[in-house]
Chain A
Amino acid sequence: MGSNMAENHPVAFQWVVDAQRNGARVIHVDPRFTRTSALADTYVPLRPGSDLAFLGGLINYILDNGHQLSEYVAAYTNADVIISDEVALPDDLVKLLSGYDPDSGTYDATAWRYAGVEQPVVAASGKRGRHPDRGGGETPRGREVEEAERDPTLSHPRCVFQLLKRHYAGYTPERVAELCGVSREQFVEVAEALCANSGREATSAFVYSVGWTQHTVGAQYIRAASIVQLLLGNVGRPGGGIMALRGHASIQGSTDIPTLYDLLPGYLPMPQAAAHPDMASYLSALTAHKGFWGDIDAYLVSLLKAWWGEAARADNDFAYGWLPKLSGDHSTYRTTLAMLDGDIAGYLLLGQNPAVGSSNGRLHRLAMANLDWLVVRDLVEIESATFWRDSPEVESGELDPGEIATEVFFLPAAAHTEKDGSFTNTQRLLQWHEKAVEPPGDCRSDLWFVYHLGRRIRAKLAERDDPTDLAVRELTWDYPVHGPLAEPSAEAVLAEINGVDAHGEPLAGFAGLAADGSTACGCWIYAGCYAEGVNQPARRTPRWNQDAPASRWGWAWPDNRRILYNRASADPAGRPWSQRTAYMRWDAEQGAWVGPDRPDFPASRPPDYAPPADAAGPAALRGDDAFVMQSDGKAWLYAPDGMVDGPLPTHYEPHESPVRNGLHAWQASPARQRLAHPHDPDNPGSTDPAPGPPDPFGPHAPPFPFAITTYRIAEHHTAGGMSRFGRRLTELAPELFVEVDPVLAQRRGLVHGGWATVLTARSAVEARVMVTDRLRPLPVGGGVIHQVGVPYHFGYGGRATGDAGNDLLSLALDPNVHISEYKAATCDIRPGRRPRGAALRRMVDEAADGHHHKGAG
Chain B
Amino acid sequence: MGLADLLGSWPVWRQLRGPDRLGLSQAVTSPATQATASPTAEADHVAASVCPFCAVGCAQRVHVRDGEIAHIDGDPASPVSRGRLCARGSSSLDLVAGPARETTVKYRAPYARQWSQLDLGTAMDMIADRVIAARDASWQERDADGHRVNRATGLAALGGAVLDNEENYLIKKLWTALGAVQLENQARI
Contacts and interface: CB of A to CB of B under 8 A. Distances in A.
B161 A12 contact: no
B106 to A, nearest CB: 4
Interface string A784-798: 000000000000001
Interface in A403-434: 403-412, 415-419, 421-427, 429-434
A543 B166 contact: no
B173 A325 contact: no
Contacts of A410: 102, 105-108, 115
B164 A325 contact: no
Nearest to A373: B130
Contacts of A264: 172, 176
Nearest to A440: B103
Contacts of B80: 11-12, 425, 427, 429, 431, 553
A273 B182 contact: no
B55 A426 contact: yes
Nearest to A526: B165
Contact of B154 (A346, A468, A727): A346
A714 B86 contact: yes
B59 A249 contact: no
A250 B82 contact: no
A259 B184 contact: yes
A67 to B, nearest CB: 32
Contacts of B151: 324-325
B7 interface: no
A462 to B, nearest CB: 12
A490 interface: yes
Nearest to B120: A442
B57 A471 contact: no
25 contacts: A248-B186, A250-B168, A259-B185, A273-B143, A343-B138, A344-B154, A352-B161, A373-B127, A380-B101, A407-B108, A417-B47, A421-B164, A423-B57, A427-B80, A442-B120, A445-B164, A496-B169, A540-B48, A540-B77, A543-B77, A553-B79, A714-B87, A715-B88, A726-B98, A798-B100
Interface string A804-839: 000000000000011110000000000000000000
Contacts of B150: 321-325, 468, 471
Given A409-B123, A443-B103, A471-B179, A354 B98 contact: no
A139 interface: no
Interface stretch (B16-24, B34-42, B65-73): B65-73
Interface residues of A, number: 159
Given A443-B103, A715-B88, A818-B188, A324 B160 contact: no
Contact of B108 (A246, A388, A419, A437): A388
Nearest to A470: B177
B123 A252 contact: no
Nearest to B112: A401
A372 interface: yes
Of A379, A716, A820, the most chain B CB neighbours within 10 A belong to A379
Interface residues of B, number: 121
Given A259-B168, A436-B47, A327 B143 contact: yes
Interface in A236-252: 245-252
A248 B162 CA distance: 6
Contacts of A323: 150, 176
Interface string A511-528: 000000000001100100
B58 to A, nearest CB: 5
The 7 closest A-B pairs by CB, nearest first: A421-B164, A425-B57, A350-B159, A441-B103, A259-B160, A542-B77, A436-B47
A493 B188 CA distance: 25
A261 B134 CA distance: 18
A249 B54 contact: yes
A251 B161 CA distance: 4
B137 interface: yes
Contacts of B31: none
Given A11-B86, A343-B153, A350-B158, A522 B169 contact: yes
Contacts of A488: 170
B6 to A, nearest CB: 41
Given A372-B134, A409-B105, A325 B56 contact: no
Contacts of A378: 102
Contact of A453 (B127, B160, B168): B127
B26 interface: no
B53 interface: yes
Interface in A557-585: none
A380 B85 contact: no
B52 interface: yes
Interface string A433-469: 1111100111111110111111011001100000010
Interface in B102-157: 102-115, 118, 120, 123-134, 137-139, 141, 143, 145, 147-157
Contacts of A727: 94, 98-99
Contacts of A344: 153-156, 182
